Amino acid sequence: MTSDPLSPYAVALGDRMGELHPPLRAYFQTIPAGRVGIGTGVFEHVGCRNRVTRTLLAPLLRALQRRGAVYAGWAEQVPFTVRNRDGDGRDSERELHLPGGTWVMRDHVQPLTHGRIVDRLGRPAMLAAAFAVTAADGALELRSTGVGMRLGGIRIRFPRCVAPRIRLRESIDDATGAQRVALTVDVPLLGRIHEYRGTFRYRIEEDA
């Protein structure tokens, strides 16, 4: 009987998985075959807050939204559901129940060497980012080490001096016990072009 492959986060963290808050270990550990991780919660905000930046980048943001990679607008108090499945990496779908209807964000995470992962966003993937994975104060933190984009048949890797800087932190709210997620995307000269922050509760159950 073969065991399930480790999740990308378990591969990247190794023994440091034990440094995560117990509910976070449950979130980032391997999801067995035939099971699905489901989280339900609310994003306090999601998208690009700055109207000028949103207008300037509108064609790119709308293209990313159509691929299920990045929400192009700005919204607050957005209910969402995340579903995680492990296999050849981790596939995640986040259903955001926006004022204009439900939109789905998709990504696929795989392990790299030296405590890193790569996250490919959209379907088909349009963005890819490599991250260094660390555990600090019971939380998991990701910091981008490289970002690329696919435009048609062309792959573009952004030079470090202009590459988006992506940071994500997953932690536990001590007051409520809920899982808290916060992501920011900053670009030199432009500033913050995307962010989201919210809380949710997570469980693992049989995959219907």
Structure tokens at 116: 């890193």
- Does residue 167 carry a pLDDT above 80? yes
pLDDT of residue 117: 98
The answer to whether position 52 is within a domain reads: yes
Please name which of 206, 6, 181 lies closest in space to residue 86, comparing C-alpha atoms. 6
Distance CA 57, CA 157 (A): 18
Residue 79 pLDDT class (50, 70, 90 cuts): very high
Nearest-5° Cα angle at 35, 44 to 84: 30
- How many domains, in total, are found in the chain? 1
Nearest of 91, 147, 167, 159 to residue 122 by alpha carbon: 91
Name the DSSP class of 18.
G
| Residue 82 falls inside a structural domain | yes
- What CATH number has the domain bearing residue 27? 2.40.128.20
pLDDT of residue 2: 54
pLDDT value at 1 more than 70: no
Residues paired with residue 166 on neighbouring β-strands, in sequence order: 185
Asked whether residue 17 carries a pLDDT value surpassing 50, the answer given is: yes
The amino acid occupying position 72 is A
Mean pLDDT is lowest, of 61-70, 86-95, 148-157, 167-176, for 148-157
Boundaries of domain holding 67: 8-203
CA atoms of 56 and 49, how far apart (whole Å): 13
Cis peptide before 124 (omega within 30 of 0): yes
The kind and range of the H/E element at 52 are helix 51-56
DSSP string, 148-169: EEEETTEEEE--TTTS-EEEEE
Domain membership flag for residue 2? no
72 close to 59: Cβ distance less than 8 angstroms: no
pLDDT over 70 at 22, yes or no: yes
Residue 61 in any domain: the answer is yes
